Structure 1
Amino acid sequence: MVVSVTSKRLSSLGEGPHWDEKSKVLWHVDALSGDVCRLDVETQETDVVHLNGKVVSLVIPYASDPDKLVVTVDREIRQLSWKNQSCKLLQEVDLDKPDNNFNDGKCDKIGRLWAGTKAFEKIPTVIEPEQGTLYSLDSDLLLRKHVDKISISNGMVWNLGYTIMFYIDSFLRKIYAFDFDLVHGTLSNQRTLVDFNVVPAYQECGFPDGMTIDCEGKLWVACYDGGRIIRIDPETAQILRTVKFPVQKITSCCFGGPNYDELFVTSAWVGLSDDMRKDQPQAGAVFRVSELGVTGLPHERFAG
């Protein structure tokens, strides 16, 4: 296993990596800077489009048009044209909670977008609890609510058969599982897969953040304030493997590369003291983990 830096740019809060197999680039966001980032992992150069708003939390390409991206800005879901650097509003949520913002999100197998909200974090992990909601957006732009009273809506992924959705509330340090109906886009039977607060092996892992899955059906979870990615068996809830990084605030991950045998990992420097930043000069970089001996799966594109 080899861990290396693959970006010259350091993000204050890097999030939402999405490998684009067509263009061979890694999309991600610098959430608090309002930047959508397009990283060439070979040259390590990043192109950026800046959007107005406090928080830009996800970027996912459209299946129909490589120039179009679905992005979330504060409480809005927008369509971004990368070439023109212009946006079109698709939906706005949480109208009764103007300080809320979207956080992490993914598309399911048919291209339906899932994304959740939370209260704005003036200080990382310090937040008014239970203000968020998990939403889905269909290809016809129908918006639906699924789960409420979420504190920090975060990493989500589906099992290989698309019968279970795994979902994180970072504030509670819990990974949940739901029964999932792909055709109807519904969730049921919520239960806790892992509670980081009570299982001894997880107590030093910080806060569960972004998440992905490999071709063996095992979960890879970024540990914010834990400086690591952990591989979890969803059948037993046991940690199978730990990948450590030279930075504390690991935020999210996805598989990519020509064979999907590399793990791309985002990180952050926001919340670090000046001394901590000196000790962690690579904080905010995108990391590349190779020679893992396991492959991952593509993230789905938005079908809108």
Structure 2
Amino acid sequence: MSYKIEALPNAGTLIGEGPHWDIETQSLYFVDIDVGRLLRYDYKENKTYSAVLEGEQFASFIIPVEGESGKFVVGAGRRVVVVAWDGVAPKAKVVRVVREVQPDFPMNRVNDGKADPRGRLVAGTMHIDITLSKRVGELYSFEKGKPAALIKSDIGISNGLTWDEKAKKFYYIDSLDYNVKAYDYDFDTGVASNPKVIFSPGTYLPDGMTIDADGNIYVCTFTGATVFKVKPSTGEVLLEIKMPCKQITSVAFGGPNLDILYVTTSKLNDQPPPAGDTYKVTGLGVKGLPMTKVQL
């Protein structure tokens, strides 16, 4: 398998995360968590725009809101907020708070989040200082017009999530468990049940994740410079995508044909260049699934 890895222009981050491919704008939206930055890579222009999220220390994911152009759901501290951004301006603004979670845990923040195929937001939390390894995180489902529903507690670092509607599965990563779990998922109710470990990357810390149209998952390793392509039904590693830096944070399929794998990375703790760059991987011979916007 000969794939090609190229860095996107001006898409360097401290901790790149939360990539979301938006078909409508042919853009990859992603965040730079610890500096509260939103980024948009425009495919047609081959150009990256970025904005500071005013008044916020963190921005942990960015997902377009269904039916509202220029509005996004963003994880900011312990809050899920709606942000207005035209994708070009150097500043973005919080316009309202959707939910605040874990008021008794001021040192927690929201981490990875995604919309399930029905438009529910699913997002989890973690302690701000990962070196303390406190299992005080929780995973929630946010459905339009309903209070936040708790999916799971006792979480170290809530991270990668993706769904397979055909298999009726939800795949989830708590990084401190060093594995990927598959849940049975009821797409009508958003209820996840019967967790089962399906893959472990050994001593590597797993991070973000996505899925292709064949139902195979792509698991990033924060300590391993690798994205593993895994068959969930058997746990078999089908491919190891070797990246040019160590801290691989998340992945999303995009491009006009959904056949480009976009990869975010981190340069936390003074990792040498090209750490922190955002990449496109081409030539994988597979397509991803369209990502869902959040329904609010």
Q: Shorter-chain TM-score: which interval?
A: over 0.9
User: Which residue pairs with 1:168 in the alignment?
Assistant: 173
What residue number does 2:92 align with? 85
The one of 257, 260, 265 equivalent to 2:258 is: 260
Deviation at 1:10, TM superposition (A): 1.2
Match among 52, 62, 73 for residue 55 of structure 2: 52
> Aligned partners of 2:34, 2:250: CA distance in 1, in Å?
15
Q: 2:151 aligns to what?
A: 146
Cα distance in 2 for residues equivalent to 1:299 and 1:51: 26
SS at match of 2:39: strand
Counterpart Cα distance in 1 of 2:167 and 2:60: 24
- Which portions of structure 1, spanning 4 or more consecutive aligned residues, are displaced by more than 3 angstroms? none
Q: Which residue number in structure 2 is paired with residue 301 of structure 1?
A: 293
SS of 2:34 mapped into structure 1 = helix
Q: CA RMSD in A?
A: 1.5
SS in 1 for 2:18: strand
The answer as to 2:34 corresponding to 1:70 is no
Cα deviations by residue, 1:191-231 (Å, 9 ceiling, x for unpaired): 2122x3xxxxx325x21110000000000011111101110
- The answer to whether the Cα contact below 8 Å between 1:160 and 1:217 also exists between their aligned partners in 2 is no
Asked whether the equivalents of residues 220 and 229 of structure 1 are also in contact (C-alpha less than 8 Å), the reply is yes
Contact 1:157 1:165 in 2 (8 A): yes
**Other structure's SS at 1:171 match:** helix
Deviation track 1:139-176 (CA, whole Å, cap 9, x = no partner) reads: 22531111000000000111232611110010121111
Tell me the number of residue pairs that the alignment of Structure 1 and Structure 2 aligns: 288
Q: Structure 1: how far apart are the matches of 2:210 and 2:282? A: 16
Between the aligned partners of 1:30 and 1:186, the Cα distance in structure 2 is 30
Match of 1:189 in 2: 194
Identity %: 33
2:115 matches 1:107: yes
The structure-2 alpha-carbon separation of the partners of 1:61 and 1:15, relative to structure 1 and needing over 3 Å to count, comes to same
Q: Is the 8 A contact 2:108 2:137 kept in 1?
A: yes
TM-score, structure 2 as length reference? 0.93
2:275 is matched with: 283
The answer on 1:21 being equivalent to 2:20 is: no
SS in 1 for 2:241: strand
1:199 matched to which residue of 2? none
What are the equivalent positions in structure 2 for 1:121-270 lying under 5 Å apart?
Answer: 121=129, 125-161=130-166, 163-194=168-199, 196=200, 202-203=201-202, 206-270=204-268
User: Using the alignment, how far apart are the partners of 1:81 and 1:142 within structure 2?
Assistant: 23
Whether the 8 Å CA contact 1:115–1:136 is kept in 2: the answer is yes
1:271 to 269, 272, 281: 269
Q: Deviations over 1:215-248 (max 9, x none)?
A: 0000001111110111000011011101111100
- When structure 1 is superposed on structure 2, of 44-53 and 256-265 the one drifting more is 44-53
Among 92, 97, 103, which residue is 1:95 paired with?
Answer: 103
- SS of residue matched to 2:132: coil
Instruction: Tell me the distance in 2 between the aligned counterparts of 1:57 and 1:261.
Output: 25
Query: Structure 1: which 5+ residue stretches go unaligned?
Result: 197-201
- Alignment partner of 2:42 out of 34, 40, 64: 40
